[in-house]
């Protein structure tokens, strides 16, 4: 098996030997992944239906990053972040997945090192390996799941080409504070100057619009000029099977012309990695839609309060749609198996390189939450 495939094997084994085995059981309460457990929003179907009928002969022709879609994203992102993003600096991608793959292909050479934090989303490592880069993993701070900037700074070498930051974070739900991002920007600027080569920061923000009340999202792009942002509509719309997202370059990033070309070449040569025509035509309407954040927050609170009461350890997430919970048994896979036998599916933390934890996806319904609570209580008592 290649190293790339090896880095994905744990997840595939979990999906095929565990999730696929249990998920179609009648009455199952599925908290394993960020998948919809209810019908898609009518507004989403309406947006696609509105643009289905071709308006020109090129409506369904080969698409690159469509000018209208680029303009929409640049305008909305500029309003949102208060920086003037340029349409030419936006690449429409096949979700955040496609944005990250494209950024890796455009920025990395074999032997480059890329730093990211643990626990982590599963696919950074295989995408880095695919480009011949070396993943360098630094744990987050145990006490509050914040980035450990000192350890990141110590992990930088002259081969470091990129740092990936994911905020709001999957799986911890942490939004990194402005003070942390300021310190990170300082460390990256110093190291870039020391080594005479810019270190890029890829800010992976597919959950950027899923922020709970009382929290504010700071983006690394506000603090560090060599930043690119990856984004997906699959989270805010809860339609991860309709693949669209974008990769945006900071307007403060110098020499962007070269990078624009490298990004488009990466998308073409990677297998025409542009989102489908219909999704690009619909993007202006999709921008106005979101899952119900009030309901999401209610689910977070009901689940978190109940689990804390039962004696589970967790930190209330500030964004995204996951709870990151300490496993009462050191073997989180075993604990997930115990829950699964009682009709509750969670993701063992080991799969995200966070052993000793498990992840609950709050995309499950409130009914699933209510049905699962006695199972969580009984499993806690047994340990």
Give the interface with ligand PLP as residue ranges (CB under 6 A): 34, 95-97, 121, 166, 170, 204, 206, 232, 234, 240, 245
In the complex, minimum distance from the CB of residue 53 to ligand PLP, in angstroms, rounded to a whole number = 27
Residue 320 tokens read as 């995204």
Query: Which is nearer to ligand PLP, 219 or 232 (by Cβ)?
Result: 232
Query: Which is nearer to ligand PLP, 249 or 379 (by Cβ)?
Result: 249
Query: Which is nearer to ligand PLP, 72 or 166 (by Cβ)?
Result: 166
- Count of CB atoms within 10 A of residue 310's CB? 15
Query: Which is nearer to ligand PLP, 245 or 349 (by Cβ)?
Result: 245
Query: Which is nearer to ligand PLP, 169 or 338 (by Cβ)?
Result: 169
CA 205, distance to chain mean position in Å, is 6
In the complex, minimum distance from the CB of residue 380 to ligand PLP, in angstroms, rounded to a whole number = 27
Asked if 37 contacts 362 with a C-beta cutoff of 8 angstroms, the reply is no
User: In whole angstroms, what is the distance from residue 18 CA to residue 13 CA?
Assistant: 8
Place of tokens 């978190």: 304
Residue 381 contacts by C-beta under 8 Å, 6 or more apart in sequence?
Answer: none
- Count of CB atoms within 10 A of residue 286's CB? 22
Query: Which is nearer to ligand PLP, 32 or 253 (by Cβ)?
Result: 32
Burial 251-278 (b: 16+ CB within 10 A, else e): bebeebeebbeebbebbeebeebbbebb
Query: Which is nearer to ligand PLP, 126 or 234 (by Cβ)?
Result: 234
In the complex, minimum distance from the CB of residue 207 to ligand PLP, in angstroms, rounded to a whole number = 7
Query: Which is nearer to ligand PLP, 250 or 352 (by Cβ)?
Result: 352
Q: Is the four-CA dihedral 89, 90, 93, 99 of positive or negative sign?
A: positive
Identify the H or E element spanning 101.
Answer: helix 95-107
Closest chain position to ligand PLP (CB): 95
- Give DSSP secondary structure letters for 123-188: THHHHHHHTT-EEEEEEPPTTT----HHHHHHH--TTEEEEEEESS-TTT-PPPPHHHHHHHHHHH
In the complex, minimum distance from the CB of residue 37 to ligand PLP, in angstroms, rounded to a whole number = 16
In the complex, minimum distance from the CB of residue 94 to ligand PLP, in angstroms, rounded to a whole number = 7
Q: Is the four-CA dihedral 328, 334, 340, 341 of positive or negative sign?
A: negative
In the complex, minimum distance from the CB of residue 117 to ligand PLP, in angstroms, rounded to a whole number = 11
In the complex, minimum distance from the CB of residue 319 to ligand PLP, in angstroms, rounded to a whole number = 11
In the complex, minimum distance from the CB of residue 119 to ligand PLP, in angstroms, rounded to a whole number = 11
- Count of CB atoms within 10 A of residue 103's CB? 28
């Amino acid at each position: 098996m290649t190293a790339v495939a090896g880095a994905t094997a744990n997840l595939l084994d979990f999906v095929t030997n565990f999730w696929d085995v249990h998920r179609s059981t009648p009455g199952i309460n599925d908290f394993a992944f960020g998948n919809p457990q209810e019908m898609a929003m009518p507004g989403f179907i309406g947006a696609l239906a509105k643009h289905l009928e071709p308006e020109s002969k090129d409506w369904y022709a080969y698409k690159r990053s469509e000018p209208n879609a680029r303009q929409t994203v640049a305008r909305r992102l500029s309003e949102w972040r208060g920086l003037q993003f340029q349409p030419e600096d936006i690449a429409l991608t096949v979700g955040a997945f496609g944005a990250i793959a494209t950024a890796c292909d455009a920025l990395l050479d074999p032997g480059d090192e890329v730093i990211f934090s643990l626990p982590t989303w599963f696919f950074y490592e295989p995408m880095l390996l695919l480009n011949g880069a070396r993943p360098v993993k630094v744990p987050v701070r145990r006490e509050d799941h914040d980035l450990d900037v000192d350890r990141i700074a110590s992990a930088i070498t002259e081969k470091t080409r990129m740092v990936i930051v994911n905020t709001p974070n999957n799986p911890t739900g942490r939004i990194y504070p402005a003070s942390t991002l300021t310190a990170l920007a300082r460390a990256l600027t110093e190291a870039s100057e020391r080594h005479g080569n810019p270190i890029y920061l890829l800010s992976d923000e597919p959950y950027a619009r899923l922020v709970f009340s009382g929290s504010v999202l700071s983006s690394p792009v506000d603090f560090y000029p060599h930043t690119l942002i990856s984004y997906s509509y699959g989270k805010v719309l809860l339609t991860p099977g309709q693949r669209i997202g974008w990769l945006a370059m900071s307007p403060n990033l110098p020499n962007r012309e070269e990078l624009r070309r490298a990004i488009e070449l990466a998308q073409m040569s990677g297998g025409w990695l542009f989102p489908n025509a219909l999704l690009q035509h619909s993007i202006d309407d999709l921008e106005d839609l979101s899952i119900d954040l009030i309901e999401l927050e209610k689910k977070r609170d009901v689940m978190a309060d109940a689990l804390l009461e039962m004696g589970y350890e967790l930190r209330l997430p500030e964004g995204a749609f996951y709870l990151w919970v300490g496993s009462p048994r050191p073997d989180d896979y075993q604990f997930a198996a115990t829950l699964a036998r009682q009709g509750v599916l969670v993701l063992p933390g080991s799969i995200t390189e966070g052993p000793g934890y498990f992840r609950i996806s709050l995309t499950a319904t409130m009914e699933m939450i209510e049905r699962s609570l006695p199972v969580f209580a009984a499993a806690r008592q047994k340990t």
